[in-house]
């Protein structure tokens, strides 16, 4: 309950920033301000995740054309310098500002501040059985994988970090990861 109230407070706190970002995103690219995607949550239960749109309109349909550029060595789809990013979107994604609408997912009880990042449903179905335990907790806005350098980790290491998080999960561990994320974002912005 405390986490949901904290998320509500932060959503209210960030609402002026969201208004500004809405104007910037609308003026610089076509498409809706909010991007939603079906993701696998706790116990693989599907839910709609919300983000500020960072890519061009129709980016999901372009995914198949970019399959050869996929840099992930597992069932996930990742391109470090994805050509689908808008100019503003690249900054929003790399600073994690695009994740602010996920506070709504926390309020709804679908996510937590810290936990394994939720995968798109089609990718979650391809996760090897030995990593299934990552789905035993709520997914998070940030994770151990992110603070350990998400862009520089193999799929296997990503999954191992998710399992390590599940094993060590506690309030203090979550607080530590959350503040490491805040420091990481501040360093990137500055």
Tens digit of pLDDT for each residue in 35-93? 999 999 999 999 999 999 999 988 888 887 888 887 777 788 888 788 899 999 999 99
Query: What pLDDT score was predicted for residue 152?
Result: 64
Query: What pLDDT score was predicted for residue 153?
Result: 67
Looking up tokens 């094993």 gives 167
**Residues 98-107, buried b or exposed e (16+ Cβ, 10 A)?**
bbbbbbbbbb
Residue 126 scores a pLDDT above 90: yes
- Cβ pair 92, 99 in contact under 8 A: no
Distances (CA, A) of 80 to 26, 42, 97, 125, 185: 24, 27, 17, 23, 17
High-pLDDT (> 90) share of the chain, %: 72
Tokens of 14: 């960030």
Phi, psi torsion values for 38, nearest 5 degrees: -75, 120
The pTM of this model reads 0.91
């Amino acid at each position: 309950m405390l986490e949901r109230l904290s998320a509500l407070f932060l959503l209210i706190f960030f609402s002026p920033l969201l208004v500004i970002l809405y104007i910037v995103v609308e003026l610089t690219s076509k498409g809706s301000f909010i991007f939603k995607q079906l993701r696998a949550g706790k116990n693989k239960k599907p839910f709609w995740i919300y983000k500020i749109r960072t890519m061009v309109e129709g980016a999901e349909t372009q995914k198949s054309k970019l399959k050869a550029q996929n840099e992930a060595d597992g069932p996930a789809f990742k391109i470090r310098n994805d050509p689908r990013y808008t100019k503003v979107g690249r900054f929003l994604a790399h600073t994690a500002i695009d994740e602010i609408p996920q506070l709504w997912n926390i309020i709804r009880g679908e996510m937590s501040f810290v936990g394994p990042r939720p995968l798109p449903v089609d990718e979650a179905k391809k996760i090897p059985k030995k990593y299934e335990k990552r789905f035993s907790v709520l997914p998070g806005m940030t994770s151990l994988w992110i603070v350990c350098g998400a862009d520089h980790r193999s799929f296997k290491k990503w999954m191992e970090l998710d399992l390590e998080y599940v094993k060590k999960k506690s309030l203090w561990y979550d607080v530590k990861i959350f503040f490491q994320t805040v420091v990481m974002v501040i360093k990137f912005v500055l």
